[in-house]
Amino acid sequence: MPTASVFLDRDDTLIANASLPAAAFAAGTHGDLADPAFVQLLPGVHEACCDLHRAGYVLVVMTNQGVVARGGASITQVEATNARVCETLSNPDQPGISLIERVYYCPYHPAGSVEPFCIEHPWRKPQPGMILAAAEELNLDLAASWLVGDAERDIEAGRRAGIDPARLLLLDTNSDIPDLAAAASHILSHR
């Protein structure tokens, strides 16, 4: 039986990114965190993920990582950073197990210079590829799922995947949903 999911963007949704110092990024790649030492959960994220997980949602991270295509990081660095995110989001009810079921990332960017990653790709948001792959691989019910992100490309990817627009939550400090804690409360109030 398909399961409901909450699809989560990574940077500035789960972890700090825009507020990090330049030292966190390879030269010329500010905004593309690929150093696990700088992974910092945003306030309220761990508790929000715990609440969503306990409510039965499968938590899936989907993140563009064009830094690989631009030569600012390797696949190994991106995967180490993703692993650190999962480690920091440990399940308090099951020590050593992450609240995150799976992380999908897209290392492609059409303006990149590193082969074979310097192409457009169906996983690169706003395309829905990561969401559709997760739905198939994890047997997820997109009609019962939600998506939370901090950029319009996140919301557009969810729309293109067929998630109900009312279930696409854009984090905005000037709205009723400024952060993941507020998004989780909204989701849980609609169960």
pLDDT tens, residue by residue, 16-58: 999 998 888 876 666 788 999 999 999 999 999 999 999 999 9
- Asked whether residue 142 is domain-assigned, the answer is no
Provide the CATH number for the domain around residue 15.
Answer: 3.40.50.1000
- Asked whether residue 148 is domain-assigned, the answer is no
Report the SS3 class of residue 125: coil
Please report the pLDDT score of residue 26 as a whole number.
76
- Asked whether residue 69 is domain-assigned, the answer is yes
Write the pLDDT tens digit of every residue in 126-168. 999 999 999 999 999 999 999 999 999 999 999 999 999 999 9
Domain containing 128 equals 5-133+154-189
Catalytic residues: 9, 11
Tell me the Cα Rg of the chain: 16
Pairwise CA distance, residues 67 & 84, whole Å: 18
Range 68-72 average pLDDT: 92
